[in-house]
């Protein structure tokens, strides 16, 4: 059986929020089958915010969720790490609105998950398997999912900047390829935009420690981690945003010049297009297609304290 997984034990870290600049405590806690990924703000009581498109909040420079007036921001890098590492069920506790930015990549979250260890649960994992193409486009921005036997991402970007005029990469996403080729890729921003964000009270925690900053002709940081670190980070963002469908996806995600707004709009559209996918699980008897209307992670039981 391809079993659902959770963490073996609780693990915590401290970081800062990219936009607030405030210190944040983050804890990842084991959770039962069909719990999904949920956030809890320990500074705001017991309300949980499941990481699904139903709880999408405003998208500015990062992806946010909210429910019952409890909001969490900048969830995408953590969601990408949890999804790629096969952690289906976890309670994420924060004492502040933002997931800490760490070094701007998903590598620190992978480190946390590996330190905690992963445990198989007595329940089959459900996948959202794409059976017909789904696509949306906005001007020259496009994103689509096509049937495939594996989860693959093809991303291309083009900017009017000498370092990243055009970059394109396809990666078949496994835990190993994510850890090696995607997780270390850091977020990036343009120096000309940093001042504007600061004036709007954003990116107050931003620094060369947690983002690649692009000047007119080059980067202000010492070095890139990959020659095409930028497009790899877009792949990371897309994996995190697509995780909001609530299940690991089997399909080929293809995106061009997209961003959080389009990624998350697309995740919501995929769920609406019920003809385009099947929920399947891998049991000892083989691949089983589940009936439509199967209980989603949002309807799962609460985690016992
Ligand atoms: Zn990002």
Run of H or E residues at 130: strand 126-130
Residue with tokens 């990624």: 263
Q: Please state whether beta strands 152-158 and 166-172 pair in parallel, antiparallel, or not at all (unpaired).
A: antiparallel
Helical packing angle, 76-84 and 229-242, nearest 10°: 80
Contact 250/125 with Cβ under 8 angstroms? no
Band the pLDDT of 296: cuts 50, 70, 90.
Answer: very low
Give the pLDDT score at 164. Answer: 83
- Measured in Å, residue 115 CA sits from the centre of ligand 1 at 23
Euclidean distance between CA atoms 26 and 65, whole angstroms: 16
Q: Output the average pLDDT for the chain.
A: 92
As annotated, the active-site residues are: 260
- Measured in Å, residue 121 CA sits from the centre of ligand 1 at 30
Residues with CB under 5 A from ligand 1 (ion): 187, 237
- Measured in Å, residue 25 CA sits from the centre of ligand 1 at 20
C-alpha closest to that of 225 among 240, 206, 211: 211
Give the pLDDT score at 224. Answer: 95
262: phi then psi, degrees, rounded to nearest 5? -75, -40
Query: pLDDT tens digit string along 240-290?
Result: 999 999 999 999 999 999 999 999 999 999 999 999 999 999 776 777 888
Contact 201/135 with Cβ under 8 angstroms? no
- Measured in Å, residue 6 CA sits from the centre of ligand 1 at 24
Euclidean distance between CA atoms 154 and 222, whole angstroms: 28
- Measured in Å, residue 104 CA sits from the centre of ligand 1 at 7
Residues contacting 160, CB < 8 A, separation 6+ = none
C-alpha closest to that of 257 among 165, 183, 162, 182: 165
Query: pLDDT tens digit string along 173-227?
Result: 999 999 999 999 999 999 989 888 888 888 889 999 999 999 988 999 989 999 9
User: Across residues 67-85, what is the average pLDDT?
Assistant: 95
- Measured in Å, residue 92 CA sits from the centre of ligand 1 at 18
Please determine, for residue 92, whether its predicted confidence score (pLDDT) is greater than 50. Answer: yes
Query: pLDDT tens digit string along 265-278?
Result: 999 999 999 999 99
Residues contacting 277, CB < 8 A, separation 6+ = 128, 129, 130, 131, 132, 134, 251, 270
The pair of structure tokens assigned to 249 is 């996806």
Give the pLDDT score at 284. Answer: 67
- Measured in Å, residue 105 CA sits from the centre of ligand 1 at 7
Residue with tokens 């969830």: 75
- Measured in Å, residue 203 CA sits from the centre of ligand 1 at 13
What single DSSP character describes residue 180? I
Euclidean distance between CA atoms 81 and 175, whole angstroms: 9
- Measured in Å, residue 98 CA sits from the centre of ligand 1 at 13
CB atoms within 10 A of CB 121: 18
Give the pLDDT score at 292. Answer: 64
Euclidean distance between CA atoms 281 and 287, whole angstroms: 6
Query: pLDDT tens digit string along 3-60?
Result: 999 999 999 999 999 988 999 999 999 999 999 999 999 999 888 999 999 999 976 6
171: phi then psi, degrees, rounded to nearest 5? -135, 130
Euclidean distance between CA atoms 220 and 27, whole angstroms: 32
Query: pLDDT tens digit string along 124-174?
Result: 999 999 999 999 999 999 999 999 999 999 999 999 888 888 999 999 999
Q: DSSP characters for 236-301? A: HHHHHHHGGGSS-EESEEEEES--HHHHHHHHHHHHH-GGGEEEEEEETTEEEEPPTTPPPGGGSP
């Amino acid at each position: 059986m391809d079993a659902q997984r959770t963490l073996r034990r609780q693990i915590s870290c401290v970081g800062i929020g990219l936009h607030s600049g405030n210190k944040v405590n983050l804890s990842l806690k084991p959770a039962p089958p069909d719990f999904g990924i949920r956030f809890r703000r320990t500074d705001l009581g017991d309300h949980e915010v499941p990481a699904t498109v139903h709880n999408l909040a405003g998208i500015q420079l990062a992806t946010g969720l909210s429910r019952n007036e409890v909001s969490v921001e900048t969830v995408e890098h953590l969601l990408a790490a949890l999804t790629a590492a096969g952690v289906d069920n976890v309670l994420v506790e924060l004492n502040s609105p933002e997931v800490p930015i760490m070094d701007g990549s998903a590598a620190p979250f992978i480190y946390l998950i590996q330190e905690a260890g992963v445990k198989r649960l007595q329940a089959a994992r459900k996948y959202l398997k794409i059976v017909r193409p789904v696509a949306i486009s906005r001007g020259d921005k496009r994103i689509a999912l096509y049937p495939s036997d594996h989860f693959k991402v093809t991303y291309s970007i083009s900017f009017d900047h000498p370092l990243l005029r055009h970059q394109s990469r396809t990666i078949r996403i496994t835990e190993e390829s994510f850890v090696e080729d995607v997780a270390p890729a850091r977020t990036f921003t343009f120096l000309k935009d940093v001042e504007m964000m600061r004036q709007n009270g954003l990116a107050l925690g931003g620094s060369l420690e947690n983002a690649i900053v692009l000047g007119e002709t080059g980067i202000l940081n010492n070095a890139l981690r990959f020659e095409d670190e930028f497009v790899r980070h877009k792949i990371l963002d897309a994996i995190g945003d697509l995780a909001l469908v609530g299940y690991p996806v089997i399909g080929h995600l293809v995106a061009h010049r997209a961003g959080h707004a389009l990624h998350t709009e697309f995740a919501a559209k995929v769920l609406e297009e019920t003809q385009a996918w099947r929920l399947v699980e891998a049991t000892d008897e083989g691949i089983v297609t589940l009936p439509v209307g199967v209980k989603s992670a949002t309807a799962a039981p609460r985690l016992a304290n």
